[in-house]
Amino acid sequence: MAGVTEFVVHGVGLSIGSASGYSEQYLDLLAEFLDQFAVAWHSEHLGYTTVDGTSLGTMLALPKTEEVLGLLVQRVGEIQSRFELPFLLENIVHLLPDYPGDYSDAGFLNELVARTGCGLLLDVYNFDIDAFLDELDLDAVGELHVAGGVARDGLQLDVHSRSTEPSTLALAKRVVDRTPSLGGVTYELLAEAVQVLGAERISAELTRIRSALAA
């Protein structure tokens, strides 16, 4: 509708890959939100945060096996049937060594897209860009996330608390140039970081990101 602001919804609590099932409470909250606001698409992380109902306190990547793929296909279909909106899934950082699987990272996402029609959300922190993009179905990419983190003990932590590094924007630009169906780019920032950065710095960062990706 003309003049109506559309939101995009990005969740962290669905736990779509938990063996015991995803969070119905999360879906109920999403339904309440959709009753109140116009939403263009919604997305979640391709991982799991609970085991047998117990929170892990973090998010872990899924094994890229045929068994897990079958589980995801069923669950994505259920969510798509309940909410008649585009549904995107995001690649996440691998905190633990990968379980032996049947697919590469991109191959697993490609198969999930082919079997469900879901879209993809890419986080530019979380993949080896050249090999990944060469294999990935880029037509399925609907959203891109960029963020700034901190370095600690030689590791770059994706904690969504700082301005983006020039290297992150350069990486994002390479992705933007190769994703014809991209619907938007999101600058991720934790609520706790808003006061640290301040409104003026955040506004300037959004302008900087827009300019870098539009160049």
Give the pLDDT of the chain (215 residues) as one tens digit per residue: 445 568 999 999 999 999 999 999 999 999 999 999 999 999 999 999 999 989 998 899 999 999 999 999 999 999 999 999 999 999 988 888 888 999 999 999 999 999 999 999 998 765 668 888 999 999 999 999 998 877 777 766 667 778 888 988 999 999 999 999 999 999 998 888 888 889 999 999 999 999 999 97
Structural domain range at position 66: 7-147+181-187
Asked if residue 115 belongs to a domain, the reply is yes
Q: What is the total count of domains within the chain?
A: 1
Asked if residue 23 belongs to a domain, the reply is yes
Asked if residue 172 belongs to a domain, the reply is no
CATH number of the domain to which 115 belongs: 3.20.20.150
Asked if residue 93 belongs to a domain, the reply is yes
Asked if residue 108 belongs to a domain, the reply is yes
Asked if residue 155 belongs to a domain, the reply is no
Asked if residue 88 belongs to a domain, the reply is yes
Asked if residue 193 belongs to a domain, the reply is no
- Placement of tokens 């290297």 in the chain: 167
Least Cα distance to 103 among 135, 65, 73 occurs for: 65
- Between vectors from CA 44 to CA 38 and to CA 49, what angle results, nearest 5°? 140
What residues does 155 pair with on adjacent strands?
152
